[in-house]
């Protein structure tokens, strides 16, 4: 980054933190080799900001909330874990099943926050007025 470059959009550097878990190190190194690490780190920082903007969701300690969370993740991303979730968590680089469940819970919180922010922007800009069934006509320039 030169002195004329804008400041990064997050507090991350262009390299991974030294304390990155070994299971994530391979993914990070691959992103670096492909020149994708800065963009991926920025996207992750934005998602973390979204998740942090909401109250911490309750840990899904029973079967029903876990099934609901997995169904939601499948619907929004097409992710289809097969077999034992503990094994899936390990294969995906999580330290344990609870780590995977917390990540899925954070993902849901970030998604809900993003949807609510988008809706607030639509309302603030008056873009919801030109939807079918709207009572008000959009303002004429």
Count of beta carbons in the 10 Å neighbourhood of residue 108: 19
The overall pTM is greater than 0.75: no
15 located within any domain: no
135 located within any domain: no
Per DSSP, helices labelled H in the chain are 22-33, 37-52, 63-77, 85-91, 97-125
86 located within any domain: yes
**Per-residue pLDDT for 46 more than 50?**
yes
Q: Which domain holds residue 27?
A: 22-130
40 located within any domain: yes
User: What is the predicted pLDDT for the residue at 75?
Assistant: 92
29 located within any domain: yes
Cβ distance 135 to 96 under 8 Å?
no
Q: Tell me the pLDDT tens digit for each residue of 107-119.
A: 888 888 889 989 9
**Per-residue pLDDT for 83 more than 80?**
yes
Residue with the larger pLDDT of the pair 67 and 23: 67
Contacts by 95-104, CB closer than 8 A, 24 or more apart: 95/21, 95/23, 98/59, 101/59, 101/60, 101/66, 101/69, 102/59, 104/69, 104/70, 104/73
Count of beta carbons in the 10 Å neighbourhood of residue 44: 12
3 located within any domain: no
Rounded Cα gap, residues 125 and 123, in angstroms: 5
88 located within any domain: yes
Cβ distance 10 to 45 under 8 Å?
yes
Q: pLDDT class for 56, splitting at 50, 70, 90?
A: confident
Residue 102, burial from CB neighbour count under 10 angstroms (0-12, 13-18, 19+): middle
Q: How confident is the prediction for the chain on average, in pLDDT?
A: 78
Number of domains in the chain: 1
**Per-residue pLDDT for 20 more than 80?**
no
Q: pLDDT class for 49, splitting at 50, 70, 90?
A: confident
């Amino acid at each position: 980054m030169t002195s004329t470059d804008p400041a990064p959009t997050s507090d991350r550097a262009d390299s991974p933190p030294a304390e990155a878990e070994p299971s994530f190190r391979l993914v990070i190194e691959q992103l670096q080799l492909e020149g994708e690490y800065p963009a991926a780190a920025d996207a992750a920082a934005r998602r973390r900001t979204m998740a942090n903007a909401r109250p911490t969701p309750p840990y899904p300690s029973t079967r029903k909330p876990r099934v609901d969370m997995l169904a939601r993740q499948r619907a929004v991303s097409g992710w289809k874990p097969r077999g034992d979730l503990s094994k899936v968590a390990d294969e995906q680089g999580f330290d344990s099943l609870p780590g995977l469940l917390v990540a899925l819970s954070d993902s849901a919180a970030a998604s809900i926050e993003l949807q609510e922010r988008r809706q607030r922007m639509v309302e603030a800009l008056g873009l919801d007025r030109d939807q079918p069934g709207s009572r008000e006509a959009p303002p004429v320039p």
